[in-house]
């Protein structure tokens, strides 16, 4: 469950509930006169105000969502107790708004709590009616059961939609052959990476690795062998980069590693670790990599993606230097000034 949810959707639900509930104020014989009618009107006005306020916001905290849904439950209890006959004028169907909101926005634990309170709330509401004894019990079971099943259906559809969304997002940011990040994923990470190095007063390092003699491997053993080797190399590089590194495939056999470093010696140590991960890796056919490295401090605000690719371009040029010098080595471009 995200820490924030869309506010306008919940605001609309609250406004709709207040408007529909307010119609009872204009029908004679529905509400108890005196205090009951005043309390009913106050609850509807408060719900309307909350809904209109939420519609002016962009996002809501999870706590605000939970409190609004709890208030929706309380509104039904008040409505049921202030009508002349809850069975006729305030059936448990009125809980559907709160249940729909809960199924749409609550996390699993909060949603279960919401489901558990439905039967007792229905009992309280329907107690203010001509129903009694077995008839009351049956109506509580039937109506609360239908509401719970409807809410569970909405919740199930939401879970399925969220899963499909996560899978789609993963596919759009993942290289299908190696399982590494792709260029889009790198750009998504750009602002976070620059912010982290700025906060920690470090440098962002880019390593571009190009496999030496990879075309020879493909020509000699076939593209299937090349694909297998590329997957194994990708796994080895990801392990060598560690959890703090961002590893992406940016070309045919080019792999990008982004990492935070504090100094040039640390840059060289990390580059050597990446080189050895390829050269010493458990590959069916021997492979080495030419590696170019470059570092930079945080670029000006708003230039995160552009600055990142300029850094990668510098590392790419250094990689060609390493390749011209015989491959299986690390060449550095030094520290760049990326300010526009």
Catalytic residues: 253
Best CA proximity match to 122, nearest among 98, 144, 154: 144
228-256 CB burial, b ≥16 within 10 A, e <16? ebbebbbbbbbebbeeebbbbbbeebbbb
Q: Around Cβ 205, how many Cβ atoms within 10 Å?
A: 26
Q: Around Cβ 152, how many Cβ atoms within 10 Å?
A: 14
Q: Where are the alpha helices (DSSP H) in 28-106?
A: 35-55, 62-82, 86-89, 96-105
Q: Coil, helix or strand for 184?
A: helix
Q: DSSP assignment, residue 337?
A: -
- Tell me which H or E stretch contains 281: none
């Amino acid at each position: 469950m995200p820490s924030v949810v869309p506010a306008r959707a919940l605001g609309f639900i609250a406004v709709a509930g207040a408007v529909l509930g307010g119609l009872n104020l204009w029908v004679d014989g529905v509400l108890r006169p005196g205090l009951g009618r005043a309390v009913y009107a106050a609850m509807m006005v408060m719900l309307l105000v909350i809904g209109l306020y939420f519609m002016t916001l962009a996002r809501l905290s999870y706590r605000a969502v939970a409190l609004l849904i709890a208030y929706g439950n309380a509104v039904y209890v008040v409505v049921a107790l202030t009508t002349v006959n809850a069975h006729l004028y305030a059936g448990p169907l009125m809980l559907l708004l709160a249940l729909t909101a809960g199924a749409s926005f609550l996390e699993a634990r909060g949603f279960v709590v919401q489901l558990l309170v439905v039967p007792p709330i229905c009992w309280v509401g329907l107690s203010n009616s001509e129903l009694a004894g077995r008839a009351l019990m049956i109506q509580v079971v039937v109506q609360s059961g239908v509401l719970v099943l409807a809410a569970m259906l909405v919740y199930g559809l939401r879970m399925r939609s969220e899963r499909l969304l996560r899978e789609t997002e993963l596919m759009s940011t993942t290289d299908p052959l190696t399982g590494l990040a792709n260029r889009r994923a790198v750009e998504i990470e750009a602002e976070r990476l620059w912010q982290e190095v700025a906060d920690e007063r470090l440098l962002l390092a880019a390593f571009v690795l190009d496999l030496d003699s990879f075309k020879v491997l493909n020509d000699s053993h076939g593209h299937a062998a090349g694909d297998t080797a590329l997957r194994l190399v990708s796994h080895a590089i990801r392990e060598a980069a560690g959890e703090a590194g961002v590893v992406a495939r940016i070309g045919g056999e080019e792999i990008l590693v982004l990492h935070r470093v504090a100094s040039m010696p640390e840059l060289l140590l990390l580059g050597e670790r990446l080189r050895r991960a390829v050269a010493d890796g458990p590959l069916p056919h021997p492979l080495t990599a030419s590696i170019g490295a470059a570092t930079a401090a945080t670029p000006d605000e708003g230039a995160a993606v552009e600055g990142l690719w300029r850094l990668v371009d510098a590392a790419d040029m250094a990689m060609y230097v390493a390749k011209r010098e015989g491959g299986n080595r690390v060449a550095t471009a030094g520290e760049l000034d990326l300010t526009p």
